[in-house]
Amino acid sequence: MIGLLMEKDVSSLSLKIFCVDRKIIETLYTISNPLNPVDKGEPPVIDKLIFPYLRSFSFQTNIEKNSSYNIFNLLDNEKNVNLTTVDINNQICPMIPNDFPKYLPLESLYFFVPTLKSIELNEGLSSYSVINFDITKSYPVLETLSLKFKDGRKNIIFDTMTLKTFEFYQVYHSISDYTIFPNLTSLYLFQNNLTGFFGDFGDLEPSSIYISDGERNTIYTNVTTNLFQSNCYTQYIFPIGKLQTKYFPDCFRCYGNEIQFLVTRDVFFAWVNYTCPIKLDKLIYPIGLFDLNKPIKITGENLGWGYNIDPTLSVMIPNKEFQFRNPTRNGETTIHFSVGYNDKYAFNITWGPEILNFLFSF
């Protein structure tokens, strides 16, 4: 094995390292080089970094010489049988391979990447029982966190105000009040063995909430929640187990046929003949000179989740805001917010240049 011809304390190391073959195994403890890096080119192509006796690997750099190299791929080989800790402290973080770690007996994986906005950890880290993310310090701009494991024996502890998207697959976590994340827009919980109380999203109005244990009609019997008004304004899929109260927002009563998988059978039948207080904020839409080719914003109350709408409509905020793609410069038509309810949720609207709509108003 090649050993380094140097003392153990090499804090004043120059930019040159000379190696000699002593025909014996030597151990490299620490290399500390406070000097500024100098670009001296790069070695011939390599496909592995082999350190049979190395237990911990710490990598820190702000310069990426060759982006085709991935430090995770280089380290993850059958020779590094003792490498249990990898520490990445970079301005630039390489992509974590889907099958990482394949060979490493990895026990600890550390990141400090201040510019990182998205993290996805895959099921290769299945031997961990607790993962603690100090996100606020290590990832101050992190927006997306995706965790996927083979089983649900993971306890995730984290705290950050920047996250917008959560994707948890078979992960234990104790959060019930998601309003502590003011920027939350999407929440996906899949086969997470949820328990406890699932709280209100308040004024966050995330675009989507998807909670499932893998089968559409399976009820979460260990979860207690309520149907909150805030649930009306998100794509909401959550088979409800226990309701703390029997309050149902109008949006759920209005579209019982479309969301019956969310509630018990007796509750659904109680909504069959419900008169929905659906309304539009206006029926006449002036079109400005520079807005002729743009969709029209339709707003109102209890407009549905967009399950059976006209093809000219698209949902922006469930029950609150839709877009209508007008095919002509001016005109009128009937739009349906659910064709499954015949004409109960249909409205006649008119659109056109502002002066034309002024005349229509009389």
Q: Are residues 129 and 242 in the same domain?
A: yes
For residue 269, is it within any domain?
Answer: no
238 and 150 within one domain: yes
Look at residues 197, 227, 247 and tell me which one is the last residue of a structural domain: 247
Q: Is residue 33, in this structure, part of any structural domain at all? A: no
Look up the pTM and report it. 0.60
Are residues 284 and 233 part of one domain?
no
- Whether residues 198 and 285 fall in one domain: no
Of the candidates 224, 247, 270, which is a domain's last residue? 247
Whether residue 134 is found in the same domain as residue 228: yes
Same domain, 181 and 304: no
> Rounded to an integer, what distance in angstroms lies between the CA atom of residue 211 and that of residue 121?
19
Q: Is residue 78 part of a domain?
A: no
- 296 closest CA partner among 251, 353, 234: 353
Tokens matching residue 202: 């308040």
Q: Are 126 and 241 part of one and the same domain? A: yes
Last residue of a domain, one of 206, 223, 247: 247
Q: Is residue 155 part of a domain?
A: yes
**234 lies in some domain:** yes
The amino acid sitting at 312 is: T
Q: How many domains does the chain have?
A: 2
Residue 125 confidence (pLDDT):
52
Per-residue confidence in pLDDT tens, the chain, 362 aa: 233 333 333 344 444 445 555 665 555 544 444 556 677 777 788 889 888 888 888 877 666 677 788 888 999 999 999 888 887 776 566 677 767 888 998 877 776 665 555 555 554 455 555 555 566 666 677 777 777 766 555 566 666 678 888 887 777 666 667 777 888 888 887 766 677 777 787 777 777 777 765 555 556 667 777 888 888 888 877 766 677 777 888 998 888 777 765 655 555 555 667 889 999 999 999 988 777 778 999 999 999 988 889 999 999 999 999 999 877 888 999 999 988 777 889 999 999 887 554 555 55
| pLDDT score, position 312 | 92
Which structural domain, as residue segments, surrounds residue 243? 114-247
Are residues 170 and 243 located together in one domain of the fold?
yes
Residue 123 lies in a domain: yes
> 305 and 215 in one domain?
no
Residues 147 and 221 reside in one and the same domain: yes
